[in-house]
């Protein structure tokens, strides 16, 4: 595992603070069209991911690691399919609450 360039966990609302930086986000895929994947972030806001999708077909839930283009889009580097069903933990907690519970500081750098 490469730890030289870590990617902070974000939701759509936090993207504005990381433009030009490497991040990771979990999202529910809404649709995919022409190299762009539109999804719903953990904070229920729209997230746009550009770039080539993973070699395997996208599942309903994915994690993407990439560079933030602007306050609503990420340029994908790495995709991870999480499957078509994800537990209630996803739907009932924002990413910052999840980070708090597992001891991550999402605003720290």
Q: How far apart are CA 109 and CA 101, in angstroms?
A: 18
Q: How far apart are CA 66 and CA 47, in angstroms?
A: 13
Do the domain assignments include residue 1?
no
HSE-up (13 A, CA, CB side) for residue 52: 5
Do the domain assignments include residue 3?
no
Domain count across the chain: 1
Any idea what the CATH number is for the domain that residue 64 is in? 2.40.50.140
Do the domain assignments include residue 69?
yes
pLDDT of residue 35: 86
Summary mean pLDDT of the chain: 81
Can you give the pTM of this predicted structure? 0.74
Do the domain assignments include residue 2?
no
Q: Which domain holds residue 46?
A: 8-106
List of the chain residues with pLDDT < 70: 1-3, 87-109
């Amino acid at each position: 595992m490469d730890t030289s360039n870590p990617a902070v966990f974000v939701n759509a609302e936090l993207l504005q603070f990381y433009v030009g930086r490497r991040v990771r986000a979990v999202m529910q895929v809404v649709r995919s069209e022409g190299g762009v994947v539109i999804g719903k972030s953990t904070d229920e806001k729209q997230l746009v991911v550009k770039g080539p999708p993973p070699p395997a077909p996208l599942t309903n839930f994915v994690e993407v690691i990439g560079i933030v283009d602007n306050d609503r889009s990420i340029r994908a580097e790495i995709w991870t399919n999480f499957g078509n069903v994800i537990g209630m933990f996803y739907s009932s907690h924002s990413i910052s609450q999840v980070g708090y519970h597992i001891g991550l500081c999402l605003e720290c750098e």
